[in-house]
């Protein structure tokens, strides 16, 4: 599947970005492209040895030495807080946060904090990370040059169901696909709520969510063997490359067309409608409040906007 991209983005040498999961797949392609634009890119990941080789390659290919790695395990609230502390100690701005990392259809298991892994890594980890970095994002944005939060969801969210009474999926038969879809649905609801809060506060920060499409990455290692076989035989025809999959993320992160635009769902660089339930503002609020409780954050959104 080949796509023709007609966008040429300006160099952005003074801007700083964080990309979670930037050592593989879509995250790697995103990191490399942002580095080509001259951005200072920090990869947030949990594989230090692999990251060092990735950084060497990206620096060599892009001629940008401002690419680095900071350890961050999204399955650990402690690790996320340590990452944010180390980042803030550098006293640098943050113009782009790409919430990209994730797991897909893994067997039933828990994070270090006891959360179901899809919920903990894909959703709660990014919820906490984003909230802890919001003050820096707000300080870095300015009129006509907003800081941006770009969150990677999936078309799988269209079949997701959000069970606020049992987000862990512990009361019934565990479904890896259902847990994955729920985590991606939660990311869309989170993005819309975040944008409403940012807009209500007059912040120069925008939040959008993107769907990369079906991409040929290692995330498929846990799916049914028949799916893996199809991927191996017909992957070149049915699946996007990681570079193609990353393009909508890059578009949302840097295109001038989206300056000041937030609360949107993008697929193939075009705004599209997400699942109807994602626009339910009461559900957005309820998920936000529950997420604050689970991550130990105060719910500063209460009373911040009309509900």
Q: How many residues does the chain have?
A: 307
CA dist., res. 18 & res. 129, Å (int) = 11
Give the residue among 234, 240, 228, 285 at the shortest CA–CA distance from 267: 240
**Residue 184: half-sphere exposure toward Cβ, Cα within 13 Å:** 28
CA dist., res. 151 & res. 188, Å (int) = 8
Residue 194 is inside which H or E element, if any? Answer: helix 176-200
Single out the catalytic residue among 123, 180, 220, 251.
Answer: 180
CA dist., res. 93 & res. 16, Å (int) = 6
Q: Known catalytic residue: 251?
A: no
Give the three-class secondary structure for 30.
helix
Q: Which residues are catalytic?
A: 180
């Amino acid at each position: 599947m080949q796509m023709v991209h007609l966008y040429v983005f300006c160099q952005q040498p003074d801007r700083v970005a964080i990309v979670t999961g930037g050592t593989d797949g879509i995250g790697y392609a995103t990191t490399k492209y942002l580095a080509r634009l001259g951005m200072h890119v920090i990869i947030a990941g949990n594989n230090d040895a692999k990251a060092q080789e990735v950084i060497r390659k990206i620096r060599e290919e892009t001629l940008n030495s401002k690419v680095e790695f900071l350890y961050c395990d999204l399955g650990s609230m402690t690790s996320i807080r340590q990452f944010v502390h180390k980042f803030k100690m550098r006293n640098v701005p943050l113009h782009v946060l790409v919430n990209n990392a994730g797991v897909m259809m893994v067997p039933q298991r828990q994070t270090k904090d006891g959360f179901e892994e899809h919920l903990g890594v894909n959703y709660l980890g990014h919820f906490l990370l984003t909230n802890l970095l919001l003050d820096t994002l707000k300080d870095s944005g300015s009129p006509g040059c907003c800081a941006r939060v770009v969150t990677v969801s999936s078309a799988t969210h269209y079949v997701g169901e959000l069970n606020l009474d049992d987000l862990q999926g512990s009361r019934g038969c565990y479904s890896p696909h259902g847990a994955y879809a729920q985590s991606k649905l939660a990311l869309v609801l989170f993005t819309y709520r975040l944008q409403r809060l940012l807009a209500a506060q007059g912040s120069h920060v925008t939040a959008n969510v993107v769907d990369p499409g079906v991409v040929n990455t290692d995330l498929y290692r846990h799916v049914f063997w028949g799916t893996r076989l199809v991927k191996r035989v017909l992957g070149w025809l049915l699946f996007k490359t990681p570079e193609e999959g990353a393009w909508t993320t890059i578009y949302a992160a840097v295109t001038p067309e989206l300056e000041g635009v937030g609360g949107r769902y993008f697929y193939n660089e075009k705004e599209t409608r997400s699942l109807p339930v994602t626009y339910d503002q009461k559900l957005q609020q309820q998920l936000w409040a529950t997420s604050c409780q689970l991550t130990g954050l105060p719910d500063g959104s209460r009373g911040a906007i009309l509900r």
